[in-house]
Structure 1
Amino acid sequence: MSVGSGTMVGVTTTELRESAETLLRELAGPRARLREDQWTAIDALVRQRRRALVVQRTGWGKSAVYFIAAKLLRAAGRGPTVIVSPLLALMRNQVAAARRAGVIAATINSGNMTEWDDIHAQVAAGAVDVLLVSPERLNNPDFRDAVLPALAADAGLVVIDEAHCVSDWGHDFRPDYRRIRTLVADLGEDIPVLATTATANDRVVTDVAGQIGTDTLVLRGTLDRESLHMSVVHIEDATARTAWLSRYLHELPGSGIIYTLTVAAAHDLADVLGSHGHKVGAYTGRTDPAEREALEQALLDNEVKALVATSALGMGFDKPDLGFVVHIGAPSSPIAYYQQVGRAGRGTARAEVVLLPGPEDRRIWSYFASVAFPREHMVRAVLEALDSERPLSTSALEPLVELNRSRLEMVLKVLDVDGAVRRVRGGWIGTGQPWTYDTERYERLSRAREAEQQAMIDYQSTTECRMSFLRRQLDDPALTGAAANAPGCGRCDNCTGTRPDTAVDTADLAAIRTRLDRPGIDLSPRKQWPTGMAKLGIPLSGKITDGPAVGRVLGRLSDLGWGQRLRPLLDGPDVPVPDHIVEACIAVLRDWTWDQRPTTVLAMESPTHPKLTADLAARLARIGRLRDLGTLPIRPGRPPVSAANSAHRVAALHNSWNPPPLDDLDGPILLVDALTDTGWTLTLAAHALRSAGAPTVLPFALATPT
C-alpha cells in the first residue's frame, strides 16, 4: 500500500506495516524501527478500528503511534484525527513532529486565539490531517456546537493524550478531562480511539480502559528508564540547598530543568543562580505564552543551562538530550514526580535526577490540598444562583457565592460535566437536572492524595532501589511475580552507594544568603472593587480611588530566604517582634521611595498576632520618631472573616473599623499588619482611614503567603 493511495481495500498486513515503517522513518530518522507494541496499536486502530490504551514510559514513542495511524487513516479517506492534549508546550512539539512526517496539523488553544476562525475553516474544508485541542476547548460554546459535532461524526481517530487525567485516580483534579467521557460516548462505533499515558497504576488503567470501551486493547510496558541516575540530597536549610545547587549545577551534564513547588521559589531561585553566573530562566504558569515559547526554544537549543520551572513545564515537553532534572522541594505524588523526571534522558545514555526535599514541602502540599473541590453547601449555592434562561458570567456569579474565581470555575466545570449547568454564550445557566454531591468520590480522592504524599515521604528515606520504588508505586507490570525480587536498577544512589557531597562553600553560602536576605517586596494596591457588590448591599463599585498607596512586605512565606525566618514567627505563639525582624523592617522603610515620608504609625488589630503587630508598630514609631496612633480596633461583634471570594470578603470587611477623625494629620499613615494575603483587609482599612480624613495610607506587612 502506498501512503497516499486513498484506500485500504485489499491491503495486506505486511503492506500496511511497510507503510507504517516508512512513515516512522520520516518522523524519527532513517534508523527508526517500530516496536512490536507500536505496530500492534497502529494495526488495531487503522485496520481493526479498535479502541486502545497505551501505557508506556516517557520517550517510548506514543506520539509516533497516533501520527502514523492518523496519516494512514487519512490516506484511506478517513476524516481528521482529533488529539486532546493538555499543555501548550506539548502541542507545539507535536505539531513540529507531525510536520516531519508530512502530517498537516493545527492546534486550537489559548495561545493562538486570532487563528481559530481560519483553523475552523481549514477543518471544514478537509485541509487538516490532525487537530490538537485542549480539554478546555471541548466546552467552548462555539467549538462545542459548531465544530465538535462534525468532528465526532467523521473523525478518523480520536486520541486522548495524558489519559490518566481522565481518571478519578489521576494525579490531579482535572474537571475538563472528565468531559472527554462524553466525547467518546458520542462517537460512532467505527471511529477508533487511542488513549496514551506514561503514568498509570492498576486502578487508573482499569478506570480509563473501561471509559474508552468494553473491548479496549491495553498495551502496557515497563516503566524502567535505563538512562536515569536517581539520588536524594538532604540539606535542611533552604539557603544551603540553593548554595549547594549553584555549585553542583556546574557538574551536571548538558542542560536541564530545575523544578520548584511555587512560582515565588522559581523566580527567587532563577535570580540567585543567574547572579552566580548560571544562564537560567524562570518558567511558571504566570509566564506570558510568547515568553514561554521563547524559553522552551532556548532550552531546546541549549542556550540556557536550565529552566527553573513549576509544574507548568511538565507533560509532553520533548527534549531527547535533556541532561538532568533537579527538584528543589518534593512533588506531593510519586506519579507527578515520575512524570517530571521522565523529561530527562530520553535520547541520552545517562541523565542525572536529583531530589532536594525541604521541611516546608508538607506545608505547601497542605495549601494546594486546601483548594480542592469545595464542600457541598458552597456548590449548592452556585446552583441556586443560576437560572435556566438568563446566563450569568463567572464575574457576575462570583459576588453571589463564597468561592474565589479559580474554585468557582472548577465547580462550574464539574457541574457542567455532571449535566447540572451548561455553558452558553454570555456565561452559565442551570439545566434544572438533579445533581448529587459525590461525597464518596471526593473523600476517596482525598485519601488517595494522602497516600501519595506519604509515598513521597517514604521515597526520600527508602534504602531500596529508587527506580524500583517508583515503578512499584505505578504498578509496573514488569515488577510482578518473580521479577518483583529482581535486583535494583544499579544506577541510583541506594544501589551504588555513591552520594553527592553535601558540603557547601562558605563564601557561596554567605553571598547567596546576602542576596536572599534583601528584604522588601512591593505590595500592589487593589485597583477595582469586585463586581456585583450592590447585590450584597455594599455601596462600592468601579475603580478604588480612596484606598491605600503602593505598600511594602518584608518577605513571602514561600521565599527561599525570608520565608525560612517568617514562617516560624507567624506559625508560633504570639510574641513581641524580634530585633532582627525590626532591623530588616527598618531597611525596607529606609529604601522605600515614597512621595512623602509617613508621620504616623497605626497597627491593625490582628486576630492571631496582636502582640507581635502592636509591638512592631510601636518600635517603628520610636525609631522613626513618628506619632504612634496605637491600634485600629475592629468593631465589637464583627465575626471573623473566612470568605475566599473577593466580593464576600469585601462585604464582610466593610465597616469593620470606626477610626476617629484624622483631619489633623500632616502626612501619611504607616499602616502595619503581620500578614496580608488577598490584600482586601488593608484595602478596606485604608478606605476607612481615608474616609476619616487620612491624606495617604502606606500599608506595611511582615509577610504574604506567595
Structure 2
Amino acid sequence: MDNVELRTEADAILAELVGAPAGSARLREDQWQAVAALVEDRRRALVVQRTGWGKSAVYFVATALLRRRGAGPTVIISPLLALMRNQVDSAARAGIRARTINSANPEEWDTIYEEVEQGATDVLLVSPERLNSVDFRDQVLPRLAATTGLLVVDEAHCISDWGHDFRPDYRRLRAMLAELPAGVPVLATTATANARVTADVAEQLGTGAGQALVLRGPLERESLRLGVVRLPDAAHRLGWLAEHLDELQGSGIIYTLTVAAAEEATAFLRGRGFPVASYTGKTENADRLQAETDLQRNQVKALVATSALGMGFDKPDLGFVVHLGSPSSPIAYYQQVGRAGRGVEHADVLLLPGKEDEAIWRYFADTAFPPEAQVRQTLSALSAAGRPLSVPALEAAVDLRRSRLESMLKVLDVDGAVKRVKGGWTATGAKWEYDAERYAWVAEQRAAEQQAMRDYASTEGCRMEFLRRQLDDEEAAPCGRCDNCAGPWAASSVSAEVVTGATKELDRPGVEVEPRRMWPTGLSALGISLKGRIPAKEQCSTGRALGRLSDIGWGNRLRPLLAENAQDGPVPDDVLRAAVSVLADWARSPGGWAPGVQDPAARPVGVVAVPSRTRPVLVDSLARGIAAVGHLPFLGTLTYSGPEGGHTARRSNSAQRVKALSGAFTVSGELAGALTGAPGPVLLVDDYTDSGWTLAVAARLLRQAGGEQVLPLVLAAAG
C-alpha cells in the first residue's frame, strides 16, 4: 500500500472516530506526519502540541491502522481517570475496543488481562501507578512489552523531573522502553513541555532505539481570551464569582488551590442559587463521574475543582476557566486553561489572584527530594533489615512523611538502589550517588516558576505570549485578544451586598477534627509497646477547629497567627469569639456541648491546655478565655518534660511523631485530683493539629488519669 492509500484509510478512520460522514474528515498535515511516523516508519516520536490539537486522534488512528496490519494492542499510559473515560468513549465510535486498568476497577483486572492476551482488546489504558505495582511490573509488564503494537505515553512531561508535574511512577517507563522489541512504535504526547523537558523526554524515548522524532508545533490558542482581575480579598473574589458567573459563556471550570477553598466556594455559590459541584481529590469516584457527566451535559454552570480535574478532561465546548487563586507554575496554568475553547470560537480565561496564594504555595511546597542523610538512612535501614520492609515499617527508621517517603523510594527504585518486592522494599546494594546538583536545580526551577506566575499576573504585555514563552514557543507573539492587548474586558466591580454575604460565609468558623483510632505500625522497633487499635477508653472524641490553614476564609486569619516567625501573644478577641461560636455550634450538634448548655451531664468539668513550646501565651490565653466565657474551671496545663521543640515538630510521619511524644507529657497531681474529683468530659485546647498525635497522646493520659471524655478544640487544622 502506498502513502496515498494509507492516508485515505487514515482519514476514513478519523471520520468514524469523530462521528462524521465518510470522506468529510481529514487529518491535518502535522497530525498525518505523526501517524505516518508511527505506522509507516515504526518510529518513536514526541509530539508537543497545544491542548485541543488532537493528539488522541493520532494514536487512535494509528492504533486502528496497526491493528489491521496484525500488530498487537496499543498500551496507553494515562495519568487521570477522566482522560481514560473520555478516551474509551471516543475509541468506541471508531470500533476500537478499549479497556482500562486503574485503582477504580481492580475487580476487572483479571478479565481485562485475558481479553488482551486473546486479542479481544485493541487499546489498554494503564494508570502510571500500575507501573510500580510488583505484580504488574513482574508479571504483566513483560507480557505487554512483548506483545504491544504501539506504546503511548500521554502527558509525557511527567517523565522528566525538570517538568512541572514530575511523577516518579512514570520513570518506570524507561525499563519498558528498553524491553520493547525492535520496530514497535512509541508515541509520547504533551501540551506543556519547554525546551529542556522536551530534550529530556526525547532522550528517554530513544532508550535502546536511536534518536526519537520530535514534532513540536506552536502553542497559540486562538479561541482563548486571557485576563486578570485583581480584588482586595477572598470575600471580594467569591462575591465577584456570584455577581459575574452568569456573564460567562456556557459552562466551565472554577479552579481553586485547595480542597477547602473548593468546598467553601461551592457552598457559597450554591447558596446563591448556582448549579455547581465540587471536584477534588477527596471527592468519591462515583461523585466525580456524576460531576463530569453533569458538566458534559451542561447541567451545571461550573465544576469548582482542584488540580484533580486537570490533564485529560475533554469538553470541546467548555466556555470558561476561572482560577480562584494563582497556581504556582505558569506551565501548569497554561495546561489548565487549555481545557477551555477546544470546540468553540471564543472562551474566557480569568485569573483572580489572592494574597494568600504564596502562603498556600509554601504550605504545599514540601516536595523536594529529601536531604542526603535521610536517603542514606533509608538505604541503611533496608540493608540492615535482611528482609523486605513496608513503608509503615520504614517510618520507624526514617523521619519522613509517608507520601514523601513513598515518592523517594520510587525514585530510588528507578535509579536501581532499591527494589519493590512482595512484602515491601529491599536495598539492591548497587552503588548510588546523591545528585545534589540536580535536586538543587529542580528546587531553583520551582522558585523560578513561582516568580514567573507573579510576573504573569502583573505583566503589561500580552498574556498569551507570556505563557507561550514560558514553554519556549519560538513563534510566540502578541495575541491581540487578552486584557493587555485589547483592553480590560472583565468587570472588577462587586456590590457591597454580595461581599457582605461572602464575608459571612467565609467568617463562619468550625470544622471537625477526626481523632486517631489506630497506633502507627512499627512502634516496637522504637522501643514503644503500643500497637493496634487505641482502646476506646483511651481515645479522644471528634474535635473542632476554627478552620483549616488551607481555607481562604479562616485560613487567611490563622496563617499569620500560627506562622513559624509569628510573635507569641494573647489570643485576639475576634479569634476567641470565633472559638466560642464554634463551641456553641458544637453544642447544637448531636451529642455536642458548649458554654451555656443546661444539661450538667453534657458539660465539661473543665478546660485543660496542651503545653506549647512556641506559643505558650496564645494557648494559655485561649484556654483560660474559653473557661471564663463558659464559666468552667481552668484545670491546668499538661506538664511537658520532653526535648526542646519535640512535640511541636511538623511534617514528621506518624511513628516518629509518637516517638517524640512518648513520655513527653505528664499529668500533675493537682490536675489528676481535679479529674478524679469531678469526673466528666474535659475540653482539651491547643493551637494547631496536623497529624493528630499530640491530641491523641494527651487525651490518653487525661483519660488514664480519670477524664471520662476528652473534647479537643484547636485554632487550626492542617489540610
TM range (shorter): over 0.9
After superposing on structure 2, the runs of 4+ consecutive aligned residues of structure 1 that deviate more than 3 Å are 636-639
* Paired residues of 1:614 and 1:630 also in contact (CA < 8 A): no
Shift of 1:639: 4.8
Query: Would you say 1:671 and 2:677 are equivalent positions?
Result: no
2:483 to 480, 493, 500: 493
Map of 1:157-236 to 2, 5 A cutoff?
157-213=150-206, 214-236=210-232
Task: Tell me the equivalent position of 2:658.
Answer: 650
Query: Would you say 1:680 and 2:677 are equivalent positions?
Result: no
Paired residues, number: 689
* Paired residues of 1:665 and 1:695 also in contact (CA < 8 A): no
What's the TM-score once normalised by structure 2's chain length? 0.94
* Paired residues of 1:329 and 1:355 also in contact (CA < 8 A): yes
SS for the counterpart of 1:698 is: strand
Distance 1:288 1:148 in 2: 29
Map of 1:262-661 to 2, 5 A cutoff?
262-387=258-383, 390-479=387-476, 486=477, 488-545=478-535, 546-571=538-563, 572-592=566-586, 593-594=592-593, 596-635=602-641, 637-641=643-647, 642=649, 644-660=652-668, 661=672
Of 33-42 and 145-154, more deviation after overlay is shown by 145-154
Question: Could you give the per-residue CA deviations for residues 38-94 of structure 1, whole angstroms, max 9, x where no partner exists?
Answer: 111111110111111111111111111111111111100111111111111111111
Please, what is the CA RMSD of the aligned residues? 1.5
For 1:678, the aligned partner's letter is S
1:22 to 9, 12, 22: 12
Shift of 1:389: 6.0
Query: Would you say 1:62 and 2:55 are equivalent positions?
Result: yes
SS for the counterpart of 1:68 is: helix
SS for the counterpart of 1:554 is: strand
For 2:631, the aligned partner's letter is R
Distance 1:531 1:18 in 2: 61
For 2:311, the aligned partner's letter is M
Task: Tell me the equivalent position of 1:139.
Answer: 132
* Paired residues of 2:252 and 2:302 also in contact (CA < 8 A): yes
* Paired residues of 2:257 and 2:306 also in contact (CA < 8 A): yes
* Paired residues of 1:326 and 1:354 also in contact (CA < 8 A): yes
SS for the counterpart of 2:677 is: coil
SS for the counterpart of 1:345 is: coil
Q: Unpaired segments of 5 or more residues in structure 1? A: 1-10, 480-485
Shift of 1:424: 1.9
For 2:543, the aligned partner's letter is G
Identity %: 60
For 1:515, the aligned partner's letter is E
Shift of 1:636: 5.8
SS for the counterpart of 2:396 is: helix
Question: Could you give the per-residue CA deviations for residues 468-489 of structure 1, whole angstroms, max 9, x where no partner exists?
Answer: 000111011323xxxxxx5x21
Distance 1:207 1:65 in 2: 22
Task: Tell me the equivalent position of 2:28.
Answer: 35
* Paired residues of 1:25 and 1:32 also in contact (CA < 8 A): yes
2:95 to 102, 119, 140: 102
For 2:215, the aligned partner's letter is L
* Paired residues of 1:220 and 1:477 also in contact (CA < 8 A): no
For 2:556, the aligned partner's letter is Q
* Paired residues of 1:465 and 1:492 also in contact (CA < 8 A): yes
* Paired residues of 2:605 and 2:681 also in contact (CA < 8 A): yes
Shift of 1:431: 1.6
* Paired residues of 2:255 and 2:307 also in contact (CA < 8 A): yes
Distance 1:693 1:151 in 2: 61
Distance 1:638 1:575 in 2: 20
Shift of 1:705: 2.8
* Paired residues of 2:131 and 2:170 also in contact (CA < 8 A): no
Shift of 1:119: 0.5
Distance 1:591 1:180 in 2: 52
Distance 1:403 1:289 in 2: 29
Of 512-521 and 111-120, more deviation after overlay is shown by 512-521
Distance 1:173 1:438 in 2: 17
Distance 1:129 1:680 in 2: 50
Question: Could you give the per-residue CA deviations for residues 164-185 of structure 1, whole angstroms, max 9, x where no partner exists?
Answer: 1111211123101111122112
Q: Unpaired segments of 5 or more residues in structure 2? A: 587-591, 594-600
- Shift in alpha-carbon separation, 1:398–1:244, aligned structure 2, 3 A: same
Distance 1:639 1:570 in 2: 15
Distance 1:229 1:523 in 2: 42
* Paired residues of 1:522 and 1:553 also in contact (CA < 8 A): yes
For 2:552, the aligned partner's letter is L
Distance 1:565 1:403 in 2: 29
Question: Could you give the per-residue CA deviations for residues 395-450 of structure 1, whole angstroms, max 9, x where no partner exists?
Answer: 33322321222112111211111112212222222222122222111111101111
For 2:45, the aligned partner's letter is A
Distance 2:472 2:557 in 1: 41
For 2:514, the aligned partner's letter is S
Task: Tell me the equivalent position of 2:109.
Answer: 116
Of 527-536 and 388-397, more deviation after overlay is shown by 388-397
Map of 1:55-94 to 2, 5 A cutoff?
55-94=48-87
Shift of 1:376: 1.5
Distance 1:375 1:637 in 2: 23
Query: Would you say 1:704 and 2:717 are equivalent positions?
Result: yes
Task: Tell me the equivalent position of 1:5.
Answer: none
Of 659-668 and 342-351, more deviation after overlay is shown by 659-668
Question: Could you give the per-residue CA deviations for residues 527-568 of structure 1, whole angstroms, max 9, x where no partner exists?
Answer: 111112111111211212202112111112222221222223
Of 637-646 and 359-368, more deviation after overlay is shown by 637-646
